[in-house]
Structure 1
Amino acid sequence: MTSPATRDPATPLWRGVVLLRVLTWLFALAVVIGHRAEFERPWLAWAVVAAMGVWSLATSVAYWRASSRWSWLVVLDVVVTTALMLTSPLILSPEQYAAATPLITTVWAAAGPLAAATRFGAGGGVLAGLVVAVGTGFAREKLDLDVARDGVLLCASGLLIGMAATTARRSAEALARALRTEAATAERERLARSIHDSVLQVLARVRRRGLEVGGEAAELAKLAGEQEIALRALVTTEPTWASAGGGDGFSDLRSALQLLATPSVQVSTPAGTVDLAAHVTEELVSVTREALSNVEKHAGPDAHAWVLLEDLGTEVVVSIRDDGPGIPAGRLERAARLGHLGVVESIRGRVRDLGGTATLETGPGTGTEWEVRVPSATRGER
């Protein structure tokens, strides 16, 4: 649950709770005035309605400001509301019970569950509604259709207000993400134009002239070409983050993998973003880097690699394939027996910790292919 912030998206609901509390207290005061001569203990009725007024004032001031909408205060609100309602058997006379006179708190008791729903969401609203409903049953000293009806209305109101509060907060978070993405995109496009007009053109010219001259200049041309491709990928790739929430944010695996493209590594990804928990994206990128590092170390300088990202809905699949000589049969097993667990722990271990699987297909002259599958349970909720 999102803690109250300076600009709580549910602020209109909080102000609605404050207005409801004031109006229902005025109604409760009118009921006490109208039935003052019938109460068993009129002085206690006046004391309770005065306590309701003081509590209404205190909670209204607190709920009006986002900085004081504390969780403990909302829980205490429900407790105080129920406690005041339970004084009804000491106040109402037997004749009033027989005539179904409203409890001393009347509809004022509904404000507590609505505050809980606004603060904690649908679950908190329903739970608070149940607490007040049970209190109503004890205050009425019976369980009849009227008590059941009040309980249903309290729980239903808590459910609806809680859903509205949660939806408001999620919508505000989505809007904030969209604004951050728009700002990042605009800045990236500005940098891309600047870099294209200067650095990229210089690198392209160095690459062309180096190839024309040959010799050592050709090696410089190759390096310039690699940096040109890497720089183009950097300035044209979408931001890798999707939302921020401390260490629990989401990031785009598609964008992160695109940054691994080089002249010898081709990266293919879906058109849309593939948002995962930030630590999952980080681990999958590390796995891919490890696999590409093995290609560079063991497949030779002329080997090429292909990285394919697939979003299957229920799982995310990353495939890393190369056209190298492959791994001879039994080599990995011998390396494991000798304590060389780089591939096993760096790739399979990382993926296993994410709840996924990593399979390797290889053979002499057939290259190698890693297929990494991570379940969609690690996907960020959007």
Structure 2
Amino acid sequence: MSAIFLQSEVENPYSFYQKMTKEQPVYWDETNKIWAIYSYAACVELLNNTAATIPVLTANNELNRSATTIIENLARLSNGIQHEIAKETAQILFSYLKTVGIHTILEELLPERLLQNQINWVDLVCKKLPVLTVLKSFDFNKKDSDFICKKIAQLVKIMQPHKTAEAIEEINKVAEEIYSITERHFVTLPFYEALIRKISDLYPISQTEIFSICVSNLIGLFIQSYDAGSGLLSNSLLQLLSKENFSKDKVDKICIQKMVVETLRFDPPIHNTRRIASKDIQLNNSTIKKNDSLLLVLAAANRDPNHFANAMNFDTERNNNHDHLTFGTGGHMCLAKHFSVTIATETLYYLVDNYKNISISGNEIEYEPMINARLPKAIWISLL
């Protein structure tokens, strides 16, 4: 049985995850030559194990200089001292992220003229709002923001471990321009010199290298917000509007935030992440050999009944929902955790506060042909 599949080809992956978590929580997939890890305890053990390293996306020779620079400097792709430098930079960038009124962006994305018909929530809001929030938080001008927002779908292909010739061509078309825009804007930020100085004081690297790391990780925030942000906004809306979970009269911001957190556990946008064993690892009576590949199925761990009571039920009042592994844990925990929850909470609250009737129409939800993420292609809704 294969642990690797396209989400577009599976109606309900959770029944498979449930079976594997119970019967083979640490499973060797002979076909794909990879260890698939399903249980909560085993996933946590590996996420915290320094011998389970994040695979480095090596720059393809066909990628241009800008794309190569971005790949080599992203915080989430590195280990050791390089990871520490990049992560420190990303944390500092997050600390300078300004609060932006989500409602003002939504008013731009949802003009009255569009609401007379059904709208595609995914294309109109989910694929734009998270990226625009980051851009506006760092005061990018409208022209540059519009360009990056329009082209980000091409740039995120830089994260694919195996890039097709077509993907490489698309990446090269936009990487240089987005890097140039970000580089040009970065030096205008009020904290620019302080950030460079702080990293320089902490680590023995040149200011030129620091500058590249900073620019790349700012671009990394755009990339990170695109797929994961879009998926969370999509999946949270689906949960909000499901009959058993939604009662508009009883919804407030705290209620919505709890629902977003439970969505991250129950139906997360990112289903799995990969690691490489840098040495032999003993796990659940199995020996993972040095250089073996690992597939940590976080979406399965999030529904492990050994950690979450009534794990297959959507329950916003469960007392340990925050234990979900969607953002990872330990040294490689995703820095966008609180940022993503805030955006989704504010967005859904805006909807219930401004529209009397929110309804989904159309056929059954279809998903993008991706292995690591379960992202709806479209969600058609009416807002009245």
TM-score of the pair, normalised by structure 1: 0.20
Indicate the structure (1 or 2) with the bigger Cα radius of gyration. Answer: 1
Bigger helix share:
1
TM-score of the pair, normalised by structure 2: 0.20
